Structure 1
């Protein structure tokens, strides 16, 4: 039996990214120069423009689960949910004062994908969760079949 492969969070086409209102010409692949996070692949997207209010982050792992996200005490305001019949968990974190985030961990046939909106304009009263759900609803068709 073949080893499962990690789903690539940069799989989205420029057209799919553009259709959800993000910049189809911008994608930031990986963790950064010299940084290796063995359990996770990451891809970042952003809206069109210069002073962008948020970054849309997609991470995938073969070794993590939605239940781990549920049981992590650092994940706040947890909400059990689903995405097209897949187990999912929405949460926020408090890891940085420079952002307000909203995250959605979604079960894949092999591993997990975590979608995040890291909202940068802290203090303007915007809830990042509706932004997150709009992008996830637009992009969920690209997830591997369950």
Structure 2
């Protein structure tokens, strides 16, 4: 059940977009694998390095997004999970334009464009997401809290993004 809620949260973060080409000929950009974040980087940011849940819930296919979920030490989504989505078909501009994204604010993280926002998909879960610009697409980090422990989900996701920004593809210059 908790995985289904996380899957729904990740799907709610989906944006819409396009990729680019080189020298006038279309070339499909290669999507970065969010599960390629090393156990050492996960441990350094305070996540459980032994846990990663790759892909989507059984029976769910989202071909334009890669997905990986990591957990804080202590259990599955307790107190929170961090999902990381990657797409070459979508852009950060779409996160800014999506009407369901609330409390949005622009950021700079590691010299690249970022956008922080919340969604309202389930009153029992607090979430905060950061869309981070990558060459030819976007990576979205999402902290999903299912415990009311008073912690700000946006603070948590911002800390993780600051720690893990160097693990995603280099920013465009």
TM-score (ref. length: structure 2): 0.80
Residue 102 of structure 1 aligns to a residue in which SS? strand
Contact (CA 8 Å) 2:69, 2:82: kept in 1 or not?
A: yes
> Could you say which structure has the higher helix fraction?
2
Residue 35 of structure 2 aligns to a residue in which SS? coil
Q: For the aligned residues, what is the CA RMSD?
A: 1.3
Matched, 1:102 2:94: no
Matched, 1:40 2:73: no
Contact (CA 8 Å) 2:110, 2:162: kept in 1 or not?
A: no
Residue 67 of structure 2 aligns to a residue in which SS? strand
Structure 1: distance between partners of 2:114 and 2:84: 14
Identify the residue that residue 93 of structure 2 maps to in structure 1.
67
Identify the residue that residue 4 of structure 2 maps to in structure 1.
none
Identify the residue that residue 128 of structure 1 maps to in structure 2.
153
Q: Number of paired residues?
A: 145
For residues 36-85 of structure 1, the C-alpha deviation after alignment (integer angstroms, 9 at most, x for no partner) is 01221110000111371100110011111111000101000000112122
**Which runs of no fewer than 5 residues in structure 2 stay unpaired?**
1-21
Structure 2: distance between partners of 1:14 and 1:24: 5
Shift of 1:98: 2.1
Match for 2:116 among 86, 90, 94?
90
**Which runs of no fewer than 5 residues in structure 1 stay unpaired?**
none
Structure 1: distance between partners of 2:60 and 2:91: 23
